[in-house]
Amino acid sequence: MDIRKQVGVNVQKIRRDKGWSQEELAFECGLHRTYISGVERGIRNPTVTALAKIATALKVEAHALLTPKN
């Protein structure tokens, strides 16, 4: 799977597990909701800084966003 798609799948799963909307996640990490949407759909190529913000907001290690889940 393409790494952008993998990040998107992981972000979306963790966000949904927390019961958050994209808007809530965007607010928590200081990014725009449409940016979060693009990340989750695998069409954005987030920087390491953006990944760190998302991981911090989700309270996970950044590598959890990159690692394929079975």
Give residue-wise pLDDT tens across range 29-68: 999 999 999 999 999 999 999 999 999 999 999 999 999 8
Q: How many domains does the chain have?
A: 1
Is the pLDDT score of 69 beyond 80?
Answer: no
Domain-embedded: residue 28: yes
Domain-embedded: residue 55: yes
pLDDT band at 1 (very low <50, low <70, confident <90, very high): confident
| pTM, to two decimals | 0.93
Residues 6 or more apart whose CB falls under 8 angstroms from that of 58 comprise 11, 14, 15, 18, 25
Domain-embedded: residue 68: no
pLDDT of residue 70: 59
Domain carrying residue 56: 3-62
| Domain harbouring 42, CATH code | 1.10.260.40
